[in-house]
Amino acid sequence: MRRNNKQFVRNIIITSIIGLSILMIVLFAALQTYLEKYEEQTYIARQIESEVSSTAIELNENRIILIEKITQDIIMGYDIKNKSTFNKPIADTARIYDAYGKVLPITQIKTGDIVEVDYQNKKDCIVSISKSVDVQNFKRISGVTVDKTTKQFNIAGTSYAYTDKIMVLNADRSESDIGNIGPFDIVSIQELDGTVWSVTIDEASASLNMVDLPTQNGQIEIDYSRIIQFKDITEPIRLIPGEHKIVIKMNGYETISDKISVVSGEVYEMSLESAEIAYTTIQPYINAKITDYTIKIDDTTYEPGDEITLQQGTYQVEVIAEGYEKWVRQVDLSKDVYKLSVALIPIEEEAPEENINPISTSEVPDNSRTIVLDTDPSGAKVYINGAYSGETPYTVTLNNGSYNVLFEKTGYMVYSTTILLDSSNDQSTFLYALNVSN
């Protein structure tokens, strides 16, 4: 019985040792397999990391390109930063973005655009195209001027340079010339770092041609901002395409006011053949209630009571009355009514010198007074009892009595009054306001 027990214990021990050995062999094999797979995965990861790193290095080539030609397969242009020609193929997987990262179709990138491109040096292939966020775009503006001497653009009062590499395009993307750019064209401009690189003439200027002018003495006003005298017009007037307010003023004719609409390249012809003559009625005002006089305007003579209506313009006017000096003036008729104020001077001896000329205070007799005659505005001619005495402000010493005083100033109505000097009134200054003549 004891022998059987010993044998049983021995068998258990041997079995345990064998089982433990097998377990260790299995564990060792599993560990070896794990280590082999780990090393393999590590190697693969390192390879992937190496490839990614290599790709990143290849994508680091970034250029800013002024596009001269673009297709589905290639970009040709000018490398702005490196000042060199750029010609690279586009990868089939290339992505196109706007300046804000939004995906675009390649058809949205056009000749004359400034773009940033990323390409792989090793594969020599563009993998990314995006519109540059640093580019300033002026869209459909006018008033742009070009100084070819200094190679500068003026845009809204700010100067920008340009180089010989500038691209000037028509609306259909065909090539144009910088000499074709004018302030009345509608253009779109791309500028980078103070330099204009691309200009598209969206709409070339239109023009206005005036014909059948009845006179060369006139002017045209466009959009309340441009005034051009007829004498300065040597060719059709350039206009920005669109609607315009036109006002034409001609001496002797009614004002013409119209709205016109012009399109790019159009020459709009405006005939002034039917311009209506403008007339002015002259209303004469003769001093001293003179009723027997004649008015001669150019070669026509008018009597009191005659209606005087003339085409507007400039005329030589003479007023003649017996016993008075001839009155001659040049008048400009530009309104419906012209008030002709006439101060006729009697042909007679002047009043005694002591009555109208100033004398010193020590010489003033008891029955005399020194007064000041003035007008607003000053500078009016003074006539005392019909005799010219001087200009306001005018100081004079007069004997006590009644005097007829008349004031005359160009552009103002004649003013006539009577002043009475006696011991009951010690007024020494007389001021009169003159009314503007029409």
Residue 185, pLDDT > 90, answer yes
Q: Please state, as a whole number, how many other Cβ atoms lie within 10 Å of the Cβ of residue 234.
A: 5
Residue 285, pLDDT > 50, answer yes
Token pair for 246? 């036109």
The confidence band for 57, taking pLDDT boundaries of 50, 70 and 90, is very low
**Residue 172 Cα distances to 184, 200, 206, angstroms:** 19, 9, 18
* Residues near 219 by beta carbon (within 8 Å), at least 6 away in sequence: 227, 228, 229, 230, 248, 249
Class of domain 206-271: mainly beta
Q: Which CATH architecture has domain 353-433?
A: Sandwich (2.60)
Cα separation of 359 and 398, whole Å?
A: 9
pLDDT digits (tens, 9 = 90+) for 17-30: 887 778 788 777 77
- Which residue, 292, 298, 282, is CA-closest to 323? 292
**204 or 61, higher pLDDT:** 204
Is 0.75 surpassed by the pTM of this model? no
The pLDDT score that the predictor gives to residue 119 is: 85
The CATH code for residues 136-203 is 2.40.50.320
Common-topology check for domains 61-131 and 136-203: yes
The confidence band for 229, taking pLDDT boundaries of 50, 70 and 90, is very high
- β-bridge pairing 394-399 and 368-376: antiparallel
Homologous superfamily (CATH) of 279-342 is: Carboxypeptidase-like, regulatory domain (2.60.40.1120)
The three-class DSSP label of residue 118 is strand
Q: Which CATH architecture has domain 61-131?
A: Beta Barrel (2.40)
Contact yes or no for 142/188 (Cβ under 8 A) = no
What residue spans define the domains of the chain?
Answer: 1-58, 61-131, 136-203, 206-271, 279-342, 353-433
Q: What is the mean pLDDT of the chain?
A: 86
Contact yes or no for 430/415 (Cβ under 8 A) = no
